Structure 1
Amino acid sequence: MSESPESPDFPEFPELPEDAAAAAPVDFSAPEGFRSGFVSFVGRPNTGKSTLTNALVGQKIAITADQPETTRHPIRGIVHREDAQVIVVDTPGLHRPRTLLGERLNEVVKETYADVDVIGLCIPADEKIGPGDRWILDAVRASAPKTPVVGIVTKLDKASKDQVGAQLMALHELLGGVEANAEVIPVSAKEQVQLDVLLDVITGLLPEGPKFYPDDHVTDDDRDTRMSELIREAALSGLKDELPHSVAVQIDEVFPSEEREGVLEVHAVIFLEREGQKRILRGKDNRRWGRIIYNARQSIIDLVGQNVYLDLRMKVAKNWQSDPKQLGKLGF
């Protein structure tokens, strides 16, 4: 549970792939008529995209939190069906950026959905369609004018039947109505409602093609990236607007413990923008900090399937969200 006040020294990160398909190995055998391709979920921040991705894949590959702008890089989850392989690309929420980080996240999203086969526009059932949703749809159509857009009404469990019905009609109209032959599907990822229907619609829009991934793959994110995201999720838990956008996580080292047989040592750093933010993560009597480490460690144990010793520290990288050099070293 140590922490260090020293100035951060970031290691170099690999660049993100240029497009959604570029990172995928190819040429796996598939039956005749098999369909495969990429679908990207887009929408305002906190519209349920990551929860939907996890539900479709059947495993947690994207972290979730109550705060908007939780997702920070495209996450590819693989859905295996007898007739298709659907690669779901969960993206950061498109938004009007306030920082250089926000601008770069928006660019990542636009680059991603310019190269996918289907786009799913996610709108929560319990929130009225607004200018932000129209702005996102316009951005999607400007970058990918020929890519089919499926409307997805998310979070059915949070709305009444009347609300859901009104939202379905509003989203259908937003996508062009009857003339555009717009597909609109209501789903609840939390309660596993209508997920098969959504996959049927998406599969029908994919081209015929090979399997891009082996049958046992659920994501192409590497282990360290997934561990860093689980730590960030634990740090965000219970926070509201205090500092979520200021939190970044870097894995320093991962190795088998020499002192503890069967234990994997994970050494990681949480980066913040200001010294005072450490107090928020510590909480009263360091209780929040202890809870963050405990929850992150349990999540990493579930991921790697063995006991874990987690050494987690805090460092300050002043205003990293707007510093090009620090953003680059953090992989943005």
Structure 2
Amino acid sequence: MNTSEGQQSLQNSLSGLPQWVSERILQQINQLTHYEPVIGIMGKTGAGKSSLCNALFAGEVSPVSDIAACTREPLRFRLQLGKRYMTIVDLPGVGESGVRDNEYAALYRQQLPRLDLVLWLIKADDRALAVDELFYHQVIGEAYRHKVLFVISQLDKAEPTSGGESLSTKQKQNISQKICLLHELFQPVNPVCAVSIRLQWGLRVMAERMIRCLPREASSPVAVQLSAPLRTDAVNKKARDDFGETVGSVLDTVSSMPLIPAPVRTIIQAVRDIVVSVARAVWNFFF
């Protein structure tokens, strides 16, 4: 990752601006390239949260220990790949204990604003979804629906189970019905994913959907954490485009600052598209 070359190209594209303005813009772009995403992952015991994380991400996982001692807080894990970091928040699954669910509702309300995305795992053979449905509508509500990506996990356990090395036609039909059911119950904003870690099934599609669901500033830092086979052209293209758009937003923000003189504002608006296309072109240097 040769960031200095990328920074130099961006600096050149801003050369028509006063130095303090271009420095301000470059400083904000630099913050963007070091953004640390936070992804929540929830599901009942045995839904396969750990194995999904291991299958999706290439980074070394380490628990964030100071919080682990406090039962009120969910467990947090930091993923590191080279100099890049990302946090996974292990959220408790609902529906296992009525007493706890009230406690969890408060915990979720506190956590949701801080999360870039929530992966909500539901096992392929889990039929008890009434509590999940209630929790989703009452706690996630309208405000955070866009942050949730439902994942049907352990597809190989869908009826009729065979223990074979591929999904049977009947299993695939039942999985399709399960996807329809989740769309009916939860009316999610994002399409439901379906994966089997054992069969390595559905992971690429899930990775691409995940990148599409993330806020624009988070997609590149998450894309680089994905395990190599999941960094498809579609993933990289979405992350690259998002980076360009976020750089464009930085210019818009600086342009609208009250301190910016009108002639400088005109220059910022004139170079905006050039800077965005340079950002896309040098994306590889940063990510």
Shorter-chain TM-score tier: 0.3 to 0.5
Give the TM-score, by structure 1 length: 0.42
Q: Determine which structure has the larger strand proportion and give its number.
A: 1
TM-score, with normalisation over the residues of structure 2? Answer: 0.47
Q: Which has the higher helix share?
A: 2
